[in-house]
Amino acid sequence: MRTRWQLIVAALFCLITGFTVGAHAANAADKPSSILVIGDSLSAEYGLQRGSGWVNLIQKRLDDAGLAWRINNASISGDTTSGGLSRFPDALERHKPDIVIIELGSNDALRGLSLDMTRSNLAGMVEQAKAAGSRVVLVGMQIPPNYGRQYTEAFKTLFEDLAKAKHVALVPFLLDGIATDRSLFQADGIHPNESAQPVLANNVWKALEALVTARP
């Protein structure tokens, strides 16, 4: 009799644990992959109606395509690469992203900060992301020539060289296609307006598409 009850209990245990494992597996399969955007005002919808920025437009594109990805936007207006680097570990831990989009550096250049420091900060974020198992998209920027030809050119190539050295995807220039069209900027002449956001989204999508559609 005791042996019979032991067999019944063992069978019930197998059923229960099997159901639990199956439920966990199903939940893991249903959970969308995640993208972390860490950037400045160009990604934080500065001066824009909520939901109209390029980050949200990419989320909509993913949803419309039936791609199970969720974007977490950790961008802060006015942020520099130093600020991004300091808060990056916490963002990685909190969101555990499969892909990280790094859009920082513009404020470094506008303040005339050391490009060696900018490069080091960006490299640090790329390395941390890769160590955490995340793929990376580095978003390149450019600045007006009035900052001096040497500084302007060095800032542009910084992103290209870093992406090549670290073997990560690159958006060559976030503002490509709008930079010389003043009608696509807000009154400050610095921040793109709502009409420009689809162009920015397309620029990022060119580098991101292959990563979100690739098989695991």
Q: Integer distance in angstroms from the first to the last C-alpha of the chain?
A: 51
C-alpha gyration radius of the chain? 22
The catalytic position among 30, 64, 114, 188 is 188
What pTM was estimated for this model as a whole? 0.86
The pLDDT of residue 21 is above 80: no
- Domain coordinates of the chain in residue numbers? 1-31, 32-213
* Catalytic hit among 41, 43, 75, 134: 41
**Is 188 labeled as catalytic in the residue annotation?**
yes
Known active-site residue 191: yes
Per-residue pLDDT band for 23 (boundaries 50, 70, 90) equals: very low
**Nearest alpha-carbon partner for 95 in 171, 36, 154:** 36
CA-nearest of 168, 184, 182, 175 to 204 is 175
User: At the fourth CATH level, which superfamily is domain 32-213?
Assistant: SGNH hydrolase (3.40.50.1110)
- pLDDT over 60 at 8, yes or no: no
> Tens digit of pLDDT for each residue in 83-120?
999 999 999 999 999 999 999 999 999 999 999 999 99
pLDDT in the model for residue 22? 43
* Distance set, CA 101 to CA 73, 180, 195 (Å): 9, 25, 22
Distance CA 109, CA 138 (A): 16
Active-site entry in 43, 82, 191, 195: 191
Q: Note if 98 is an active site residue.
A: no
Alpha-carbon distances of 16 from 10, 27, 55, rounded to whole Å: 10, 17, 43
Mean per-residue pLDDT for 75-85? 98
pLDDT of residue 28: 41
